[in-house]
Amino acid sequence: MLRFDRFAQRTLRAGLDEVDAGDRDLFVRQMVCDNLQRARALAWLSAALVGSMAVFEWALGPPVHAGVAALISTLLWPIRLAWLTGAGLFLVFVRPPADPGRVTRRHSAAALAFVLVGLGLAAWRCGLAQPVLPSCAPWQIGLFAFVIFFRFDVRRTLVALLPPAVLLIVLVPLNQPVRHLAISTVVAAVVTLVLALIGARMAFVSAARDFVRRRLVERSNIELEQLSTIDALTGIGNRRAFDAALPVEWRRAGREDAALALLMVDVDHFKRFNDEHGHVAGDRALAVVALLLRSASRRPADIATRYGGEEFAVLLPSTGVEGALSVAETLRLGIESAELIGLPAGSLTVSIGVAVARPLDGGVPAELVKRADAALYAAKDAGRNRVEIAPSTDAPAAVP
């Protein structure tokens, strides 16, 4: 498992207690994926640039430099060859995983090694070229690219930057015969290093906080989505949840060649119940019906919702006629025998319409709702407190 250092943990937790260990782990894995993708892009770009420069120099013929300049030009070729070889191996063997959850220490080490080797070769090049070019421009360009493209925590940033910096500081005085030029180059390299460390820290903090904000927004959106599909009074799904679930379950039943059952449940004489016992008792009655609906639909795939007012809907995936009728009758009996506070058993009853369909036989979800609704009205017309099933070839008689 990848870990953050203490600074990274403090960064992600700064004023945001909602961020947990799972989010921190996800962030570091996402950063590794991003670093690998950027490293591959830089590898392609730099390899193309170095390769084109090498081809251009080869096309012009042997260098016309003399003395030290000719020697340095010769020594720079191994550096170019080393970079082209390293970039090629990186592009061939290192690929960022599509899923951040599959990131391993090997991926993290590969991104770090890419930066370390690139900056090390830049420092080597600057040190060798001091007699001809007394500056550390390639090193500074490498640090600039590091700050822009990569996001490492403090520990990995130090591992990536300090060894090349030490190499540069050692090589410059050894290869630069003019003392004040060597001193100015080393000072410029150190100042650039300090600025790069500060910039890398700021970039990492900014990336971490942006990640935290996105995660909090995502969580808020999920919570709002859940609240928008939950009925506040009964605690079960609302009409919006039913409308979203019905086509999903219909398609699933079609893929599995299974039956899909729908129960439409309506509280009998609910307006009269409200008028006689009050709206508080009416709200309590609806909550009891919802509770019994959840009890009757025991399977995780079963979906109980409040369809509207005193009407409820229950989706029963992979359920045939007999199973649907059994659930409906269990529900009807449970509500009939329920004892509300201050009211005897039998004060509250429901009528239930049942419809079963097999999507592969044709039809659309709206037809299932229409058939279940028609069965519900048939139950009401037959005297209420009963279960009726929509007509079908294998449907048994109504359950009184």
| Whole-angstrom distance, CA of residue 393 vs CA of residue 395 | 6
Boundaries of CATH 3.30.70.270 in the chain?
A: 239-389
pLDDT by residue, tens only, the chain of 400 residues: 455 455 455 555 544 445 567 777 888 888 899 999 999 999 999 888 877 877 776 776 555 555 555 556 666 778 888 888 888 899 999 888 888 888 888 998 999 999 999 999 999 888 888 877 788 888 898 899 899 999 988 889 999 999 999 999 999 999 888 888 899 999 999 999 999 999 998 888 888 888 888 887 887 887 777 777 888 889 899 999 999 999 999 999 999 999 999 999 999 999 998 888 888 888 888 998 999 998 887 788 899 999 989 999 999 999 999 999 999 999 999 998 887 766 776 788 999 999 999 998 888 999 999 999 999 999 999 999 999 998 863 444 444 4
For residues 313 and 298, what is the distance between their CA atoms, to the nearest angstrom?
Answer: 15
Would you report the helix, strand and coil content of the chain in percent, each value rounded to 5? 65, 10, 25
Paired tokens of 44 = 């392609």
CA distance 106 to 101: 13
- Residue in 103, 86, 107, 87 with CA at minimum distance from that of residue 43: 87
Decide which of 3.50.50.60, 3.30.70.270, 3.30.70.360, 3.90.1150.10 is the CATH code for 239-389: 3.30.70.270
- The pLDDT value recorded for residue 128 is 83
Contact 287, 304 (CB under 8 A): no
What is the structure's pLDDT at 393?
A: 39
Question: What tokens appear for 143 in the block?
Answer: 């640090």
Structure tokens at 26: 């996800």
pTM attached to this predicted model: 0.60
Contact yes or no for 210/29 (Cβ under 8 A): no
Contacts 24+ apart (CB under 8 A), 362-368: 364/250, 365/246, 365/247, 365/250, 368/246, 368/250, 368/260, 368/262
Q: How far is CA 144 from CA 17, 173, 194, 195, 226, in A?
A: 33, 23, 12, 9, 45
Sheet with strand 350-357: strands edge to edge: 303-308, 311-317, 260-267, 350-357, 387-389
The HSE-up count of residue 335 (CA atoms within 13 Å, CB side) is 29
Residue 150, pLDDT score:
92
323: Cβ contacts below 8 Å, ≥ 6 apart: 261, 316
Token output for 38 = 């950027």
Asked if 306 contacts 236 with a C-beta cutoff of 8 angstroms, the reply is yes
For the chain, first and last CA: distance in Å?
A: 61
Residue among 112, 384, 121 at smallest CA distance from 269: 384
